[in-house]
Homo-oligomer: A and B are copies of this chain.
Amino acid sequence: MTYKLDAFQDMVEAFKLFPGIGTKTAERMAIFLLKSPLNKTQQFAQTLVTSKTRIRPCLECYLFTEEEICSICQDEKRDRGLICVIEEAKDALMIEKSVSFHGLYHVLMGKLSPLDGVGPENLKVESLLERVRKLKVREVILATGTDVEGEATALYLGELLEEENISVTRIAYGLPVGMGLDYADELTLARALEARRAL
- A164-185 interface with B by 8 A CB criterion: none
Q: How far is the CA of A35 from the CA of B65 in the complex (A)?
A: 13
Number of copies: 2
Q: How far is the CA of A97 from the CA of B8 in the complex (A)?
A: 14
Interface residue ranges, A against B (CB under 8 Å): 1-8, 10-11, 14, 17-21, 25, 27-35, 38, 41-42, 44-55, 63-66, 70-72, 75, 77-78, 88-90, 92-93, 96-97, 99
Other than A1-B97, A7-B54, give 13 A-B pairs with Cβ distance below 8 A. A2-B78, A3-B63, A3-B92, A5-B64, A5-B93, A7-B51, A10-B47, A10-B51, A17-B44, A18-B29, A19-B32, A34-B64, A45-B48
